[in-house]
A and B are shown apart, each in its own frame.
Chain A
C-alpha cells in the first residue's frame, strides 16, 4: 500500500496531532450516524423497545400522505424563508459592504450580536411580542387601530417570520463577503462602457455575487427544514416542519426507528442540496466545508 509508506517515521507526531480530532469525530459523529442508519432498519416490540428484526417498514411509512404533506409544507416554508432572506439581506449586505463603509463595523455587529443570544429565547421573545396580550396587540388596541386583540401567532406566516429572523445572518454574512470582494473597478468599468445602474447591477454585480446568494441560500434553506422549535413556539403545532416530525418520534411518539428514518431523509435532502450547489460551481469553503 502506498499510503503506509508516507507514514514512515512520522507516525507518532501525526497521531498526536490528528488522533484526538479523529477520535472525537469517530465517537461523536460517525458512530451515532451509523447507529441512526442502523436504527432505521429496526422495529419496536409491544413495549416500545427497540429490537433488531430487519424491516423496511420505517421507510415505507415515510410515504404516508400526512408526512408527505408536511414535507411539502416544510419545503414551502424553507423556500419562502430563503427568498425573503435574499430579498431583505441583499440590500443590507450591499449597504454594509459598499455604501456605509465607515459604519461597517457597527452594522456588521448588528447582524452578529443576536447570534450571541440563544435563539430559543429570542423566539420566545417574538411569542411574547406577538401574543394576544403582547406588546403589539396592546399598542394597536390603545391606538384604536383594532378593537380586540388580533391573532398574530400560530400560522405559517409567523413561522416564516421566525425562521427569517433566526436565519437571516446566515444569508447576510456570505452575501457581505461576496459583495465586499467585488472590485470597485468592475462597477466603474461597467459604467464607463455605457451601462447605467440597473444594467450594471444585473450584468455585473449580481452575477459576480451569485456565489454569495447561493451559499447563503444553502445555509438558510437547510436549517429551515429542521428548526422545529420555531414551528413549535410560533406555529403552535399547526404547521410543522420536518424537524417537528423527527422530534415527535423521538419524544412523545417514542418511535425511534421512524424518527431515525426521517432523519436519514433530512440528511439525504441536505446532501443533495450541497451536491447541487457544488455542481453549479459553488465554493465549498463558503459553507465552512
Chain B
C-alpha cells in the first residue's frame, strides 16, 4: 500500500464544558487523506463534539488539531478548508435548492456563469437535477440530505464532516443513502469524517472506525480489525454481539494466553498480557460450536433455554451451570436441540483476550474469588 498522507491530526485534545465533566479526554487520532473514517459511539461519547472542534464550532480546551499540517485553533469556521453536513440538514428555508447549493460560491463572489455550471454539476452528482427551483420545504428528507451534501461539497473541502447525516431517514432510505455516500466519497476522493451511533452503518461504510466511549477513544481500526480484534470490553460488546467472560491471566505462552474464569480455564489469543492481569475473554456467538455429547479438550456444559428464529440465522440462548447466559448464532437449518444439555466449545483463536482495565474490573475480581 502506498504511503498514506495524514490530513487531520488530532493531538492530546481535551474538551471540558464549564461546570461539567470532560467530554473528550486526551484524544489522539490521525485521519488519512481520502479515507472514510467513522467516529462511532453512543450518544454523549464525545464524537459530535470532536467533529465540531474540527469544524470550528467548539473551542478546544487543550491540545491541538492540525488540518494539512496547519494548526486550526485560531481559525474561524469560514477560514477552515472543511465543510459540514449537519444532522438537521440546516438548509436555508428562504432560499431555493439552487441558492442553497450556490451559497458558498456566492459568498466567495465567484462569477455567475461559473456558479451556475458548478451548482448544476453538483445537483447532478447528488441526483437532484431539475430540483433547483424548489424550496427546502418542498423536498423529502432524503432530498434535503442530498442538497445539504451538495452544498457542503461545492466548496471543494479537503475534509467533509458529516454529523449523523442519515439519522432522520427511515431504514430503507438510510441504506440507500449509505451506498450513495460511499459512492460519492470514492468518486470525489475527499476525506470523509462521519459521525454515527449506528454500528452497522459504520461497519458497512468506513475504511476505518474510531470507537469512542465516555470521551475516550477506545480503538481505531478497519471494520474487520474492530470486529475481530476488539481492544477493549466496550468495543467487544458495542460492535456486534458477544459473550464476555471475566477472569485473570493464569499463563502466557507466546500469543497463547490462558485465562482462569469461574468455570475453568479458557485459552485464547492475544499479545502483551501479563500473568495475573484482569482480562475479559470475548467469544462471538457465531463462533461457538456445540455437541450433544461431551467433547475432548476445552468444553463448557450448558442447558438450552430459548431459541429465536430470525430468518437467516437462529439465535439460541443457553445457560451455564453458574446461571450466566451465553448467546449462540447458527445458520438456520443447523439447529441446536430445542432442550436438554449441550457442550459448547470453540477454537482457541476465536477467544479474544481483552485488557479489562476499564469499567468492569470489579466483576472480574468477583469471579476470581468465586473460582
Contact = CB atoms under 8 A, between A and B. Distances in A.
| Most chain B CB within a 10 A radius of its CB, from A188, A189, A207 | A189
B76 A193 contact: no
Contact of A186 (B90, B104, B107): B90
Nearest to A193: B104
B309 interface: no
A241 B155 CA distance: 55
A186 B91 CA distance: 7
B77 interface: yes
B103 interface: yes
| Most chain B CB within a 10 A radius of its CB, from A183, A190, A191, A193 | A193
Given A190-B103, A194-B104, A194-B107, A208 B84 contact: no
A192 B55 contact: yes
A193 B88 contact: no
A183 B155 contact: no
Contacts of B78: 191-196
Interface in A166-221: 183, 185-186, 188-196, 199, 203-204, 207-208
A183 B90 CA distance: 8
B103 A193 contact: yes
Interface residues of B, number: 23
Given A192-B84, A193-B104, A186 B76 contact: no
Interface string B48-67: 00000001110000000000
A194 B86 contact: no
Contacts of A189: 84, 86, 90-92, 151
Interface residues of A, number: 17
Contacts of B103: 190, 193, 195, 203
A137 B47 CA distance: 62
Majority secondary structure of chain B interface residues (helix, strand, loop or mixed):
loop
A186 B84 CA distance: 12
B92 A192 contact: no
A42 B264 CA distance: 108
B83 interface: yes
A188 B92 CA distance: 11
A207 B94 contact: yes
Given A185-B86, A199-B107, A191 B92 contact: no
Interface in B94-114: 94, 103-104, 107-108
A196 B107 CA distance: 9
B93 interface: yes
A275 B88 CA distance: 34
B84 A195 contact: no
A194 B90 CA distance: 15
Contacts of B155: 193-194
Given A192-B83, A193-B83, A193-B155, A186 B92 contact: yes
Contacts of B56: 191-192
A11 B87 CA distance: 50
Interface string B71-87: 00000111000011011
B105 to A, nearest CB: 9
Contacts of A190: 92, 103
Contacts of A186: 90, 92
A195 B90 CA distance: 15
A194 B151 CA distance: 12
B255 to A, nearest CB: 47
A203 to B, nearest CB: 8
B57 A188 contact: yes
A191 B88 CA distance: 16
A208 B107 contact: no
| Most chain B CB within a 10 A radius of its CB, from A188, A191, A192, A196 | A192
Contacts of B104: 193-194
B107 A188 contact: no
A208 B94 contact: yes
A195 B57 CA distance: 14
A240 to B, nearest CB: 40
A191 B86 contact: no
Contact of A208 (B77, B86, B93, B152): B93
Given A194-B78, A194-B108, A188 B86 contact: yes
Contacts of A192: 55-56, 77-78, 83-84, 152
A207 B92 CA distance: 10
A24 B195 CA distance: 58
Nearest to B94: A207
Given A191-B77, A192-B77, A193-B83, A185 B88 contact: yes
A189 B155 CA distance: 13
Nearest to B93: A208
Contacts of A185: 86-88, 90
A193 B90 contact: no
Given A191-B76, A194-B107, 15 more contacts: A183-B90, A185-B88, A186-B90, A188-B55, A188-B84, A189-B86, A189-B92, A191-B56, A193-B103, A193-B152, A194-B104, A194-B108, A194-B155, A204-B92, A208-B94
For the complex of A and B, list the 7 residue pairs with the smallest distance between their C-beta atoms, beginning with the closest.
A185-B90, A193-B104, A189-B90, A191-B77, A194-B107, A207-B94, A194-B78
Interface of B: 55-57, 76-78, 83-84, 86-88, 90-94, 103-104, 107-108, 151-152, 155
Interface of A: 183, 185-186, 188-196, 199, 203-204, 207-208
18 contacts: A185-B87, A185-B88, A188-B57, A188-B77, A189-B91, A189-B92, A189-B151, A191-B76, A191-B77, A192-B55, A192-B78, A192-B84, A192-B152, A193-B103, A193-B104, A193-B107, A195-B103, A208-B93
